[in-house]
Amino acid sequence: MLYSKLAELYENLGNTTKRLEKIEILSKFLEYLSEKDKDILYLLNGEIYPTYDERKIGISNQLVIKAISKASGNSPDKVVQEWKKIGDLGKVAEKLINTKKQSTLFLKSHLTTDKVIENLRKLPELEGEGTIEKKLILITELLISASPIEALYIVRTLLGDLRIGIQESTIRESLAKAFFNSDKESSKIIQEAIDHSNDLAKVFLISKKGKISEFDKIGLEVGKPIKAMLAQKVKNIEEGFKAVGKPCAIEYKYDGFRLIIHKKDSKIKLFTRKLENVTKQFPEAVEYIQKYVRGESFILDSEAIGYNKKTKEYTPFQAISQRIRRKYNIEKIREELPIEINVFDILYYNGKSLIKEPFEKRTQLIRKIIKETPYKIVSSKQIITDDLNKAEEFYKKALKDNQEGIMMKNLSTAYQPGNRVGHMLKVKPSEKDLDLVITGAEYGTGKRSGWLSSFILSCMGKEEQEFLEIGRVGTGIKEKDEQEGVSFNELNDLLKPLIIKEQGKDVKIKPKIIVAVTYQEIQESPNYSSGWALRFPRITSLRPDKHLSEIASLQEIEKEVKGQKSN
């Protein structure tokens, strides 16, 4: 397919904010898309491979600036000047490539999607000496061949910022409309297929056959990461019992990070809830699984928590969060920041998917196959009860053990990957906290000169890929790297490469860095696009283990406000 047709689709999708219109536009496109062009499904999501694939484009703003400079015949300074003015390197490429083509009378572009995918897929494969130059050649080749509108979306794809307002759910509904006339049951089955495979092209090929029975061919595959099931929140245990029923399973809500464990024969892989492979970062976890878990093949859902080697007390998430990102000196940090794995669910065992089995059966199996070894690997602390007093006692014990609270789980329900379900609930103390994304900042003055020091926090809006501001934060961040917690240096190192626009001291930042924030209350505010502002917000930790889809939504914010009024 000509890449111009895909660029036209991007443009049409980006020109409407209405979800139903997006589905209408995309479904017509998918209906006529050929099987040989299946990889375009990845491009619709701003990717070049299935979600589970570890290979990512990973291109910096600076390299894109050089490529635009070479392709358009403008100096890098001119490109940067336009970028600061426009705030979108894609739009800069469109403008400067347009000027170039007008002046040189270039012929109409015949760039194909196959060529774009071919060049983009070479980027993550390159390593060693001369890598930067080779990447520059591949990107420049595409931009030279591109029309202005194609250049816009090539650059946005390179930077992971398509700005067309669609997510996986839009693609799901478009597939259902194109091939099953928007049947609700088919939409549900398509979502299950996406959740099981994390491969949109594979799901597209089966959808195109128009037979629901064909989806039976898509199942869990050990070694391919799967999205974690997520919990909803309730105020107290009584509310939890009403929602999940009695009796129910009550477990610790651990103050750690999600670790989804895959084993096939002797090969073990560890994934975060963002589907990142962190096997190398946790060699001890691999050892524990080999030694203390019985089974030829399995997928376990667990939480890794830190503890103090001397006192054996459990430590908060922020104490071990750096282990997720650390790729060097693994043995040293392993000794300094040990972890214990707490297994609370099983999705697959010895050749059989257990996703549709009731939780009661799954949790019993966990306790049969794990040799309980404290401070290495254990099954989650659990009681099954319908007694409020016993539940309250268990809750107090969880807090005494330095954990966040408890989980309440319906015993008869299935595992639903990637969904925030109402049959698994979390109960935490009344301290108010939210996971939010940083979307802007301001350069500091005095001793903070040169640092981004005041950060704009955003929640998820009602539209897909819409981020709404809900306040500024500058507290909770440490001046020195050696102090426990998030430091200004660490935060600046993460945020500066994500700057997409500068205006004086203010910068706009690509939504990527998620932080846990505590606050006193939420107030109405015309100063922020959400209509709300956090009072006395404070950053408590980075959440590199979480996906953007998991940040607090406007709906959740408004629910919190209602809760404030009723208290």
pLDDT in tens, 224-245: 999 999 999 898 999 999 999 9
- What are the structural domains, with CATH classification, of the chain? 47-158 (1.10.3260.10), 230-427 (3.30.470.30), 433-566 (2.40.50.140)
Task: Please report how the helices 61-72 and 148-158 are oriented relative to each other, as an axis angle in degrees rounded to 10.
Answer: 160
**110 band by pLDDT with thresholds 50, 70 and 90:** confident
Query: Are the C-beta atoms of residues 443 and 144 closer than 8 Å to each other?
Result: no
Reported as type and span, the H/E element at residue 454 is strand 452-460
Pairing verdict, β 314-315 and 267-271:
unpaired
Of residues 61 and 143, which shows the higher confidence score?
Answer: 143
Rounded to whole angstroms, how far apart are CA atoms 395 and 82?
Answer: 56
- Among 91, 253, 263, 432, the active-site one is 253
**478 band by pLDDT with thresholds 50, 70 and 90:** confident
Of the ranges 6-10, 78-82, 376-380, which one carries the lowest mean pLDDT score?
Answer: 78-82
pLDDT tops 80 at residue 565: no
For the segment 103-114, the average pLDDT, to the nearest whole number, is 71
Output the pLDDT for position 562: 81
Q: What is the pTM of this model?
A: 0.83
* Helix (H/G/I), strand (E/B), else coil: 408: strand
pLDDT tops 90 at residue 424: yes
- Return the DSSP state at 46: T
**505 band by pLDDT with thresholds 50, 70 and 90:** confident
For the segment 517-546, the average pLDDT, to the nearest whole number, is 91
What do you get for the CA distance between the two ends of the chain, in Å?
Answer: 59
**58 band by pLDDT with thresholds 50, 70 and 90:** confident
Output the pLDDT for position 482: 58
Output the pLDDT for position 60: 87
Q: Report in angstroms the alpha-carbon separations of 228 from 188, 332, 359, 539.
A: 17, 30, 15, 25
- Residue 480 appears among annotated catalytic residues: no
CA count, 13 A, side-chain hemisphere, 163: 17
Of residues 431 and 86, which shows the higher confidence score?
Answer: 86
For the segment 42-66, the average pLDDT, to the nearest whole number, is 91
What are 137-168's pLDDT values in tens digits?
A: 999 999 999 999 999 999 999 998 898 988 88
Rounded to whole angstroms, how far apart are CA atoms 5 and 247?
Answer: 56
Query: Residues 199-202: contacts with CB within 8 Å, 24+ apart?
Result: 199/50, 199/51, 199/52, 200/41, 200/42, 200/44, 200/45, 200/50, 200/51, 200/168, 200/171, 201/38, 201/39, 201/41, 201/42, 201/50, 202/50
Of the ranges 205-214, 227-236, 463-472, which one carries the lowest mean pLDDT score?
Answer: 463-472
For the segment 16-42, the average pLDDT, to the nearest whole number, is 95
Rounded to whole angstroms, how far apart are CA atoms 423 and 245?
Answer: 9
105: left (phi over 0), alpha (psi -120 to 50) or beta: left
Which amino acid makes up residue 370?
I
What are 337-370's pLDDT values in tens digits?
A: 999 999 999 999 999 999 999 999 999 999 999 9
**Tokens coding 26:** 């995309």
| Burial tier of 164 (Cβ tally within 10 Å: 0-12, 13-18, 19+) | buried
